[in-house]
Structure 1
Amino acid sequence: MYTAEISRTSPSAFLFVIDQSGSMDERMETEQTKAQFVADVLNKTLYQLVIRCTRADGVRNYFDVGVIAYGDSVRSGFAAPLGGKILHSLSDIEANPLRIEERVKRVPDGAGGLVNQPTKFPVWFDPTSLGGTPMTAAMRTAAEAIAEWCDAHPSSYPPTIIHVTDGASTDGDPSAIADALKQMSTSDGECLLFNLHISTTGGQPVVFPASDSGLDEYGRLLFRMSSAFPDHLVQVARDKGYDSVSGESRFFGYKAGYEVIVDFFDIGTRASNLR
């Protein structure tokens, strides 16, 4: 399983499900709010997917990509012209950022120091933090989009859903719809659902555990909602220093700070067998 070649004629899909509830306005160690930091990481991830799939002839549509945002409502995380549906080809994503911002990054100066270098940063997804946490409705919206995608791509590498939240669901238990989502499949395997809980409280995060021991009730819920670690991503995680990861681990993080958030997105979007 999870061995299908990813190509323009047989793409895979990434769907990001992002909590934008009112509590996402809390500030992280980076001084950004949780909403701002997650939006930056997501926009950078989208840009890296575009770069990874760009060849001399342009952006190749190895992936369909979507964002679902939930807070005061459940909606596409993209604005017009991308806002009308959930999943879009990568070339459509590349062609329709909200804006291009000028950012500054620190780069080596060749003499052992660092200098500021201006860089272009495309933005597709804006941070907001408003309302409750309708996680169940968001998962249902994801399931509808993924079911349609799997029907249209029956032999493709299955979709990956990356869900980021900072709090408990306010519209009931999302686990049943999450289980249904994980059971959706192509001939190459079941859909992958990765859950990341983020926190500003500090302390030791729980990242990629093999059991739910030591977790509180909400942590155990998200653990059960999460897919087991696909074999081909185990080494990717170990290369980033998560030495205890195995096929028994769940792709799940709890009470994560900013470093884990970056790693979670990076590892979760590494699909093998790109042609």
Structure 2
Amino acid sequence: MYSAEINNKQPALLVLLIDQSFSMLESWAETEQSKAAALAAAVNNLLGNAVALCSRGEEEVNGYFDIGVLGYGQTVGPVLNGTDTEQVVASIQHVADNPLRLDTVTRRVPDGAGGVVARQQLMPIWLDAAANGATPMTAAFTAIEPVVQSWCAAHTSSFPPIVINVTDGMSTDGQPREVVNRIRQLGTDDGKALVFNLHLSGIPSQPVRFPASAAGLTDPNAAMLYDLSSELPPAILEAAAALHYPVEPHARGFLYNADAATVIDFLDIGTRSVTPTGLRELTAGDSEDGTAG
């Protein structure tokens, strides 16, 4: 189980649920950015890495992934360019070809002689920061349930869908437990759908990373998100361990009071560990821009 090969005929599905409520205007702990801005940057980084992993430097982007990004706040709906309520999920090829825009950024890159040089590069932007309204988490999960169900029916041999919910607060439209449990019962011949939850902290505090039990989770919201989170399958467990996270058997895909670096790590782990050649690169500490992780 959780070992299906990812290829053009058997893509994997990655769905991101992004909290875009008003509280996301608050600063992310130990950063100078709002949670909304830092999270948008992390998602753009994830999508850029996913495109790179699926192309491996070639002009053609291989169809290893179908991707959906759904925001929830004042409204609930897909946010990727070219997607809508009728077409929530797009192929990685479509994602690569349809960013919102290209921004010019300055990056420090190796100069080939042991130093670094600043270079301007065009960077695709797929998601802009947004923060307004309440936190309709239940509505967000409800919106993607039929998407996951229909995708599984059409891809019975594929690696199971991965749904990652990123939030900074409690659901304001009731407990999502029932709908999440239904999603976790969906799946392919290779296993049940995986649901992971990442909670963002507004203040510096002790994070909870990939716990194997709910012991010590005194916050009811933390306990709820833990209960809704799936255990890490072997490939993702191995990838987390390779980045020196102290994971144990039965560790769950759950972060609480997470800092920016850990969220970026986790989003990267989820894609690289199930992409062809991805785990090897992750454990080697090599990424497309020559930086670790």
Q: Tell me the amino acid that sits aligned with residue 19 of structure 1.
A: D
Partner in structure 1 of residue 17 of structure 2? 17
Give the TM-score of the pair, scaled to structure 2.
Answer: 0.89
CA distance in 2, matches of 1:27, 1:146: 32
CA distance 1:9–1:112, change in 2 (3 Å) = closer
CA distance in 1, matches of 2:190, 2:38: 34
> Where does the alignment leave 5 or more consecutive residues of structure 1 unmatched?
none
Give the TM-score of the pair, scaled to structure 1.
Answer: 0.94
Partner in structure 1 of residue 288 of structure 2? none
Q: How far off is 1:194 after superposition? A: 0.8
Q: Secondary structure at the match of 1:260?
A: helix
Q: How far off is 1:20 after superposition? A: 0.3
CA distance in 1, matches of 2:91, 2:252: 28
Mapped pair 1:35 → 2:49: no
Please provide the CA RMSD for this pair. Answer: 1.6
CA distance in 2, matches of 1:77, 1:207: 28
Contact 1:3 / 1:273 at 8 angstroms: preserved in 2?
Answer: no
Partner in structure 2 of residue 133 of structure 1? 135
Q: Tell me the amino acid that sits aligned with residue 174 of structure 2.
A: G
CA distance 1:225–1:114, change in 2 (3 Å) = same
Partner in structure 1 of residue 235 of structure 2? 232
CA distance in 1, matches of 2:157, 2:48: 27
Q: Secondary structure at the match of 1:141?
A: helix
Greater Cα offset, 49-58 or 201-210: 49-58
Mapped pair 1:194 → 2:206: no
CA distance in 2, matches of 1:37, 1:53: 24
Partner in structure 2 of residue 173 of structure 1? 175
Deviations 1:141-182 (A, max 9, x none): 111110110011111111111110000000000111111111
Partner in structure 2 of residue 158 of structure 1? 160
CA distance in 2, matches of 1:125, 1:179: 28
CA distance in 2, matches of 1:94, 1:140: 27
Q: Tell me the amino acid that sits aligned with residue 228 of structure 1.
A: E
CA distance 1:95–1:111, change in 2 (3 Å) = closer
CA distance in 2, matches of 1:170, 1:5: 39
Q: How far off is 1:115 after superposition? A: 3.9
Contact 2:168 / 2:201 at 8 angstroms: preserved in 1?
Answer: yes
CA distance in 2, matches of 1:211, 1:270: 25
Q: How many residues align?
A: 273
- Summarize the alignment of residues 1-275 of structure 1 with structure 2, pairs less than 5 Å apart: 1-28=1-28, 29-54=30-55, 56=58, 58-79=60-81, 81-83=82-84, 85-109=87-111, 114-215=116-217, 216-242=219-245, 244-272=246-274, 274=276
Greater Cα offset, 188-197 or 117-126: 117-126
> Where does the alignment leave 5 or more consecutive residues of structure 2 unmatched?
278-293
Q: How far off is 1:21 after superposition? A: 0.2
Deviations 1:185-212 (A, max 9, x none): 1000001111000012101100001111
Q: Secondary structure at the match of 2:165?
A: strand
Contact 2:53 / 2:272 at 8 angstroms: preserved in 1?
Answer: no
Aligned sequence identity (%): 42
Q: How far off is 1:117 after superposition? A: 2.3
Contact 2:46 / 2:264 at 8 angstroms: preserved in 1?
Answer: no
Greater Cα offset, 117-126 or 36-45: 117-126
Deviations 1:222-264 (A, max 9, x none): 000000011112221111110x213311110001111111111
Q: Tell me the amino acid that sits aligned with residue 238 of structure 1.
A: A
Q: Secondary structure at the match of 1:202?
A: coil
CA distance 1:120–1:273, change in 2 (3 Å) = closer
Q: Tell me the amino acid that sits aligned with residue 248 of structure 1.
A: H
Q: Secondary structure at the match of 1:269?
A: helix
Q: How far off is 1:269 after superposition? A: 1.6
